[in-house]
Structures are given as structure tokens and as C-alpha cells.
Amino acid sequence: MSPHKNVREVMLEAVPSLRAFAISLCGNVDRADDLVQEALLRALANLGSFEPGTNMSAWLFTILRNLFRSEYRKRRREVEDVDGSYAEQLTSLPEQSTRLEINEFRQALKLLPPEQREALILVGASGFSYEEAAKICGCAVGTIKSRVNRARSRLAELLSIDDASDFGADRETRAVVNSDLSNTRRT
Amino acid sequence: MNMRKPSRRRTAMDLQGSELKPVAKLGPDIKAKIGQQLRVMYSEVVNQGVPDRFVEILRGLDEPTDEGLKNESS
């Protein structure tokens, strides 16, 4: 039996999502990767304090978030790097218009208070339940729910979404997004 | 502008919490749209997989196990 192997696999699986979360906290890929690295090293050093049977991914997220809050927040968020090198490092999205829209979305996300942003991301993107997100952030479930709601309304406001057809950029972008959404591409 | 003003009762309850602005009720379309954008943004990073540096860091986890005797003489 090699119990550590399991742990390793679970940790490896969590890394992509941890990175995405870290980038949303730091706003910068390099710093985010350093943060993920620190979090993993800390997790490895404290494996004994992980309770088997609980959610390893949530545990890692908690460690990463605490690290970010204790260390990274001290250094002001100097470089936000929203439309610069960060976007260039991401090549997985082929559609230029979608890229524009996502950048716009990312910009808007940056304008949210950090607590709202992280709540929205944990629940809306990382796939955690409200309960898990509350644990990760060390607050009440109701607080998470309220933060998520506020984050959504603020985003809707910032991106002036009135209804589904009025989202950001131009008509072409919407067409692309909508066709992606419904998966019914007429060719 | 003809914005649909959601009917909202402005009570003291609305003004509680860390942010003082009352939260407007959002339609399901808007929620779905935001959710979709969030996931697209997130999956851009997730789809990059695990960079080597993290594979390296976690490789150490194999060593204390009974599989650790890999590098015998060659």
C-alpha cells in the first residue's frame, strides 16, 4: 500500500483549479504560480493535519487562500496586468471576439471587492458548494450567499447586462457566445 | 433608458451587511450569462493542465512509499 500516492494524485488533480483560483486572487500568472507552489509545499509539510475523508481540494484552497491573505496582500496589488501579458499567455481560446469579451469580463471582476470576487469564483467556477466555500473563507454560509449575490449584481451593473442579449461587446461576439452556449452551430 | 426596474421593497433589511447598497434581484438569464463567462475564464487556466514545476514538487510524495526504490543501478 502506498497511501501517499493517492494524496499525490488528488493534489495533482487539484492543481489546475488551484491555479485558476490563484490567478483570480493575484491577477498575475507568475505570482499565482508562486502562490500555488507555496501552498503545495505547505500542504506537503502539513499532510498530517489533513483529515482523511474530508475534501482535499477544499483543504488546498483554504491553505492557498490563507497564504494569499497573510503574505501576498501585504504587497499591494501593484500590477494588475489585465490586458497585458496575462492575456497573451493564454492561448486556448481561438475566437478573438470571445477573447475580448472575456477580457472585459475579467476587468469587471477586478472591480469587485476581493471577498465578493473570491466567493463568486469558488461557487461559480471552482465548483464548491456554498458550505465548502464558507469553510474555505472562514465565514458563515449566509455570508457567502450574500457575497455571491452582490458580486453578480455588481457584475451585471458593470457590464450593463440588462438581459441575455445585451452582454458586452458587439453583435458578433454575442453570436459566437450564443452559439457556443446552445451548441447549435448552423453551418 | 428603459430598464426594467425590479420591484424591490426598500426596507432596513436591504441596507444591512458589509456593503450598503441593496442587491437587485437578477433574472436567470443574467445569472446564466455571468456563470458562463466565469467558467470560460476559469477553464482557460484549467485547460492548461499541470505545469511541470508542480509535477516536480509532488513527485517527492512518491519517495517515502514502497515505490521509492526506482533508481537502482542501471
Contact with chain A for residue B57, Cβ under 8 A: yes
Q: Do both A108 and A157 map to the same domain?
A: yes
Q: Do both A42 and A112 map to the same domain?
A: no
Tell me how far apart the alpha carbons of residues A21 and A6 are, in angstroms, rounded to a whole number.
23
Q: Do both A117 and A148 map to the same domain?
A: yes
Tell me how far apart the alpha carbons of residues A129 and A133 are, in angstroms, rounded to a whole number.
6
Of A3, A90, A124, the CB nearest to B44: A90
Q: Do both A172 and A130 map to the same domain?
A: yes
Q: Do both A52 and A102 map to the same domain?
A: no
| Total domain count, chain A | 2
Q: Do both A127 and A162 map to the same domain?
A: yes
Per-position pLDDT tens, chain A of length 187? 445 557 888 999 999 999 999 999 988 899 999 999 999 999 999 999 998 888 999 999 999 999 999 875 566 554 444 444 555 555 555 566 677 788 889 889 999 999 999 999 999 999 999 999 999 999 999 999 999 999 999 999 998 876 544 444 444 444 444 444 444 444 4
Q: Do both A110 and A176 map to the same domain?
A: yes
Q: Is A40 exposed, middle or buried (0-12, 13-18, 19+ CB in 10 A)?
A: buried
Q: Do both A70 and A25 map to the same domain?
A: yes
Nearest CA of chain B to the CA of A163: how many Å? 6
DSSP assignments along A84-143, one per residue: SHHHHH------HHHHHHHHHHHHHHHTS-HHHHHHHHHHHTS---HHHHHHHHTS-HHH
Q: The complex's ipTM?
A: 0.71
Domain span holding position A161: 96-182
CATH code assigned at A2: 1.10.1740.10
Q: Do both A109 and A176 map to the same domain?
A: yes
Is residue A177 a part of any domain in this protein?
yes
Q: Of A45, A76, A107, which residue sits at a domain end?
A: A76
Contact with chain B for residue A140, Cβ under 8 A: no
CATH code assigned at A163: 1.10.10.10
Does the beta-carbon distance from A92 to B60 stay under 8 Å? no
| pTM higher than the cut 0.95 | no
Q: Do both A52 and A100 map to the same domain?
A: no
Residues of A in contact with B57 (CB under 8 A): 37, 40-41, 44
Scanning A46-75 for CB atoms below 8 A from B yields: none
Residues of B in contact with A163 (CB under 8 A): 27, 29-30
Tell me how far apart the alpha carbons of residues A77 and A93 are, in angstroms, rounded to a whole number.
26
Does the beta-carbon distance from B42 to A20 stay under 8 Å? yes
Tell me how far apart the alpha carbons of residues A140 and A144 are, in angstroms, rounded to a whole number.
7
Q: Do both A105 and A172 map to the same domain?
A: yes
